[in-house]
A and B are shown apart, each in its own frame.
Chain A
């Protein structure tokens, strides 16, 4: 348990410089990125087919309402592309041997049947796959036995409202091969059009004038003869399944998609059943289709290929259909057996489901393989095993949601309009099953009244979920708010016990939600009844006045809690790490990421329920903890990039542009005439080479591109393909590998912005593609090589603040192998922790601090400056310079590559209820300290009243929630009761915010006899008289609904935390603080310890109130983030940055005000100046400058005009 604090004994052998991260959710991804960006090789193992985890499933995120997918997707791409992260998706860890620094893990990769390296993620396989249901596959044919044709005993004739009108739309031509015909006449009997001329012992002939092309003859002709041949069928060269798909699509296009009509006798269903699925349960008859319901395997193929929606699954079979459901969409819609996990998945590679794929089970079909342009589908794939050497393991498997069926009284699973919160997220999501429309699953109606029931599977002893899930209050408020954003007529009501909005800015968010007409009712719903006719739901509950209430809602959302899955528990067992009774990892207060097995660390919700930012903090912290012991092996296993020297291209050199028009399989080529675009590109000025690869992005195309660049001495490259946001970096790196400046690359998006949006207008789309290509070529011709600034990194960090966060960070940076300047304003290290006594589990802070201090003093990489302050600060990431004032009054200049702000917070001391004047009135911290020094006799019968939110959540004092006070009150209450069992404690509270596992302590406190009385500052504010002679509190106890009078010996105030004065420091560092004085992070969700400026980080209570354990985790997280900089020898900045030409600068300050990163400033020469190392290249200043004197490479007027002029040509 002491892993993080002990410097590991020098191993005889060097540890392995790699880490295995188990679980590819936001936690695993963050750990992987932080490690890989600091020179540690990462193996990321994810059991599902794609990384992303729960966060990818969410619609929006609180408290900023950012789109979850939009913010996580860049992380997905970064992980997917990272050279030092090896991804193992659809894989599990089977075994972990060895010890810290030298583990061997066995990873099992399940058969995916699609090759991850060659697949380009075009999604065609999923599109053509005809299967929609899990089949009842026919008994496999025994070895050596001949396969018998299935014979139906039970038949169902399917007919429409009118009679069948045969259509010859996109007809195939059927002919009889004379040599093969056995003259059996079966085809003639099958033909409903009287189109076959046959007489006994005569070979059949098809009368093309009468034939409508239904293929009845083709199906009827016995397989051994196969005398009927098909011509004029597009895609038939690939497979019959591909041809069926193609014709179905063509008919749909012709008739107008979505038009349900009577059978048009196209014959596709029958051909699919017989020739693709090898079942033969369908037959065309005069009145429609005859289905052999007992032999139908219920795969759904016939229904999905029917272009007119004539068939439905229930009429073709007598067995219950088993639809394939999309687990990513919480089973709210369907999927195919071959399926990309979700649209933005990384890797964007489908997986074939072994249970439902027809090919894998009965040998039929195989359509997907036949159409895959890169040959990525392999039905022969088998499970593989790999042994991997690693130094540490990060276990971040995440959580699943509570099974709401356990709470039967809410009717989940029985009542269709009762859904879980995660299902509701999918309803809200634009990429979800209803594309963002809120509907009742029961009848598709738009609900008006929606109720959220909180704590379903949380804070519930009855189903062994004693803990609080920490996130439900906030996500319910968010869902209610967003639902109203989607449809303002929705009236949401949230039923809750305590509103646990304890995080940073959470209370403000709740207020905002309340202001947007979301009703909050403090009550636990006892039961839900469904009206079987309308599907409406009646909720029964007891309100605050004790009255029984009943109210009808259209829809109910159950705020399900988080839990550890059984498979995670089993995996933990294999890893040999200790879990608590709920399945959460057992860790120590002072080393919050270390498990019971040295070298194995945890991050995210496995370490207790938590929201995304805290997960990200822990993920970075786990990365730090896992890599500290491997520091000496840093960079030993990662691959460094070596690039050839850049070829110089002069201004007057001949333009030699190469243009690549991508087919993207059929994504582009099915709509756009790629050949025509390529021929057109040849005519454009400066173009000397053109090509049209099937997939320009595939590995072999890229290799070929390099050869072509050399062979044809190309100096500009244009690809007309897909989106630059996903593919530009790839193409740019190919240019660099060929010795061409990467800014000589230009991309035209003829897929997302052309073929995908104009599928029905191929000619116009081709014209558009030409024009887009022309613009790309024009811009490439206008391109200039840009240089990327490179500078050295100082491998030391400045830590401002020597509390628990700063001290922890200092030690960890040193363990990572880098130097530390630790600056503390006070004469002594320790900060607020000096005033606290014990952790929740009873460990003594003083002892821990003492040990920590010893270690800091002993480490020569750490230089400590106490009684010192920062007075001046300059420089930029990698190369900062800071002047500090030392106790002697002298100054000293420190150089460093990163900055960590850990200036902390202190307990507030508002002048309330006699605090500071009456001896018996004290703060929680005073009480903790007094208690520690009290003795047996003192308080045997003492009466203590604790007042929560004393000056917190109060506009007059601290407007925010300080997060720690509820837990601190419970901790002190419990210790007090333990020491003096006869004593009495009453806690007056507004909401007990004992989030996460703190709820268990809260429950213990109630069991120990501590009274909790809820008050409300508006309706039931306690009247407190506190004098030396005694304390008297009068308040109404809502549980008995009567006023009570409590006489107490001590009044303990939970006053909350306030940030220490850091205004000057903030302005020196040019970083923003909130109104409350806490520093504002770069991104509330995904960059919780980064400050907005590069190279600046923060940790601990300077960010917001938090416990010491959380502060330690944050300190480690900040170190992980800083290590990604300190571990680099040099940093390279993008070439696309803003430059000011001072000649025309009007010093109007527009750029200074417009820059979101605060980079431009007015220099001594009376001109705006932009530090290239700080510029993020967003271009806002360029667009805003009224004097047009700011320039940015790649986006100059020259470039834009080149494009526009070329467009208008």
Chain B
């Protein structure tokens, strides 16, 4: 899922400072699951803003909405009838959702209420970790199911660098060396020969290096 963290309230207050009525928009997708942009967060954020503004002597009117997903046009369109009644939309969906709203509602300023994080997994309630960078050319079948692009701090492709000490990456004592994990796993699977099958170099053309990406599925259109 796409993860994120709430922006500091001071930053949000500064963003909404010019406005007297806004929409706070949540999303029932990933951000609900990772607890930054669901129905509940919408209510909490809207209440906090109202209280803070009231305390500051300038009330703000807020409409609370939660879309099924902010990244699908059908759901986004549901906001259209009333969006122009408000001066701005504060979205707490991921960056994709926020941008999509901005794209659709051209005259209304869009404000981000969260910092979008990464594609990750829930390690336990309240703890998420990155697992995929969307490089566009998956090699997990060769690396024991552990991604060298994401798990290695340098996204190396040919085993650990000199910064790997007893399985720990030199960047942080809490970060495990991705390549140590891969090698341990390959050994356990008795697949060490996969190590040799990796391409001598990685083509990054399918990754971000080729500019903004687009997926076109002829079979679905």
Contacts and interface: CB of A to CB of B under 8 A. Distances in A.
Interface of A: 1144, 1146-1150, 1153-1154, 1185-1189
B182 to A, nearest CB: 28
Contacts of B38: 1146, 1148, 1186-1188
A315 B138 CA distance: 94
Contacts of B33: 1146-1150, 1186
Contact of B39 (A1149, A1150, A1188): A1188
A559 B122 CA distance: 49
A1186 B40 contact: yes
Contacts of B124: 1153
A1186 B125 contact: no
Contacts of A1150: 33, 35, 125
Contacts, number: 40
A1147 B32 CA distance: 10
Top 4 A-B pairs ranked by shortest CB distance? Answer: A1186-B38, A1148-B33, A1146-B32, A1153-B125
Contacts of A1148: 32-35, 38
B28 A1188 contact: no
Nearest to A1146: B32
Contacts of A1147: 33
Interface string B22-40: 0000001100111100111
Given A1186-B41, A1188-B40, 17 more contacts: A1146-B28, A1146-B29, A1146-B32, A1146-B33, A1146-B38, A1147-B33, A1148-B32, A1150-B33, A1154-B125, A1186-B32, A1186-B33, A1186-B38, A1187-B66, A1188-B38, A1188-B39, A1188-B43, A1189-B39
Interface in B115-139: 122, 124-125
A489 B43 CA distance: 46
B70 to A, nearest CB: 14
A1149 B33 CA distance: 8
A1187 B125 contact: no
B29 to A, nearest CB: 8
Nearest to B27: A1146
A626 B28 CA distance: 58
Interface string B97-125: 00000000000000000000000001011
Interface in B43-80: 43, 66
Contact of A1144 (B28, B35, B122): B28
Contacts of A1188: 38-40, 43
19 contacts: A1146-B28, A1146-B29, A1148-B33, A1148-B34, A1148-B35, A1149-B33, A1150-B125, A1153-B124, A1153-B125, A1154-B125, A1186-B35, A1186-B38, A1186-B39, A1186-B40, A1186-B41, A1187-B38, A1187-B40, A1188-B39, A1189-B39
The binding surface of chain A is classed by DSSP as: loop
Interface of B: 28-29, 32-35, 38-41, 43, 66, 122, 124-125
B47 to A, nearest CB: 11
A1150 B124 CA distance: 10
A1153 B38 CA distance: 17
A311 B218 CA distance: 100
B35 A1187 contact: no
Contacts of A1154: 125
Nearest to B37: A1186
A1189 B38 CA distance: 11
B170 to A, nearest CB: 31
B175 to A, nearest CB: 25
A646 B159 CA distance: 74
Contacts of B32: 1146, 1148, 1186-1187
Contacts of B35: 1148, 1150, 1186
A1185 B38 CA distance: 9
Given A1186-B32, A1186-B33, A1187-B32, A1144 B125 contact: no
Nearest to B29: A1146
A929 B122 CA distance: 53
Contacts of A1189: 39
Nearest to A1145: B28
B180 to A, nearest CB: 25
B160 to A, nearest CB: 30
A964 B202 CA distance: 62
Contacts of A1149: 33, 122
A1144 B68 CA distance: 9
A1144 B39 CA distance: 9
A1185 B125 contact: no
A618 to B, nearest CB: 39
Contact of A1187 (B34, B39, B122): B39
A1146 B66 CA distance: 12
A1146 B40 CA distance: 12
Nearest to A1197: B43
A1186 B44 CA distance: 10
Given A1148-B33, A1150-B35, A1153-B125, A1187 B28 contact: yes
Contacts of B34: 1148
Give the most central of A1148, A1153, A1187: most B CB within 10 Å: A1148
A906 B36 CA distance: 49
Contacts of B43: 1188
A1072 to B, nearest CB: 16
Interface centre among A1144, A1146, A1186 (most CB of B within 10 A): A1186
A1195 to B, nearest CB: 15
A1181 to B, nearest CB: 12
A1146 B125 CA distance: 15
Contacts of B39: 1144, 1186-1189
A1153 B124 CA distance: 9
A1189 B66 CA distance: 13
Contacts of B41: 1186
A1147 B30 CA distance: 10
A1179 B119 CA distance: 31
B18 to A, nearest CB: 28
